[in-house]
Amino acid sequence: MDRPLTGLAAQIRDAALALGFVKVGFAPLEPFEEAGQRLAEWLASGYHGEMGYLAGEPRHEPRRLLEEARSLVVVALPWAPSAPRRPLPLEGLVARYAQGDDYHDVMRAKLRSLAERCAVLAGRPVLARPCVDSAPLLEGEAARLAGLGFIAKSTLLLIPGVGTQVVLGELLLDLELELDPPPPMEPRCGSCQACLHACPTSAFIGPYVLDARRCISYLTIELKGAVPRELRALVGTRVFGCDECQRVCPFNAAPERPSAAEFEPRPALATLDLVALLELGSAGYRKLVKKTALRRTNRERLVRNAAVALGNCGDPAAVPPLARALREHPSALVRGHAAWALSRHGGAAASDALQAARDDPDATVREEVAWALAALAAAPRAGG
């Protein structure tokens, strides 16, 4: 049960709830030493992959973000899962949280509104800094210390009664608040390991430890180069993020859950045409990602992801557009993944396209083509 708040803290909480936040708490400003040590060990293991920014500015010291800060408000904004359905063969999957408005914009706007309300409540101008996940702050730990929930085995914050399907935000304020911080919530996962077993790429080293280099969210969003060949088939038709570890969590099973209106799915993202994505131009890219979280990755990577997804879709209608991409796309990264995707389909048309690409001007593409041709040659023939 939440501890009662009084005075200005209670007024700030009520103002935050009125803005649509489903949970509000206050975290200490002292360094998160234990979490900082865990992050250092995780980084030392190399689990962060290309996300070098995580090793930059210390993320466990909130006051570095605002020296004048005297309090740290932590909030959660919910999104509800879509009704389950079977995707069409040439349809790409976008993680549910990214199907609506860009949560960075939504959260920052609401936090700025909360800061303005705090100034009114305090009766003076307030120095404030809103933070979303792009700020160097261990927001999951801040939320845990603020009493919002606990860190689940999936490494996500889990709010009892709400689940893991939330976006977190923080607001640093130069307001001194009288608070009695709640004791951090202990994990309630028990013996459940559903999230660990559901991960398509086996990205969990164990409970509470994720190797981001194998995570589909990392592979489709953060990774700049080639998706490791041994993981491509496991990505399926996902082109931006992955919902699997959250989909199976029992805490997310409530039939009716709160959801911010801004996160309602856009039709263009709820059903994404993989062939159109493979052939996406600059103007189409700008239109597709405008004011969405898909802006986090560039056009080349989205098209790369489309090639992988078309290789996994199981529909022979994917072969002609993949052959065109291998022959004509200006990006070597895309051509290389198109070659791999053609090897997944096989057949004379795929083989002919690969043979014609053996002299591609890029060495990495030639290597992918050689691998794909060898894979086709080694594949068992129908009726053989």
Angstrom distance (rounded) from CA 7 to CA 55: 39
Q: Report whether 248 contacts 198 (CB < 8 A).
A: yes
Q: Please list the alpha-helical segments (H only) found in the chain.
A: 7-18, 33-44, 103-122, 139-145, 194-198, 216-217, 229-235, 244-247, 267-270, 274-278, 282-289, 299-312, 319-328, 332-345, 348-356, 363-378
Q: Between the CA of residue 186 and those of 144, 150, 183, 189, 370, what are the distances in Å?
A: 9, 6, 9, 9, 52
C-alpha Rg value of the chain to the nearest Å: 23
Catalytic residue among 133, 273, 315, 362: 133
Tell me, rounded to whole angstroms, the distance of Cα 348 from its chain centroid: 38
Angstrom distance (rounded) from CA 138 to CA 131: 11
Angstrom distance (rounded) from CA 92 to CA 315: 13
Look at residues 361, 358, 309 and name the one whose alpha carbon lies nearest to residue 338: 309
133 is catalytic: yes
Catalytic residues: 133
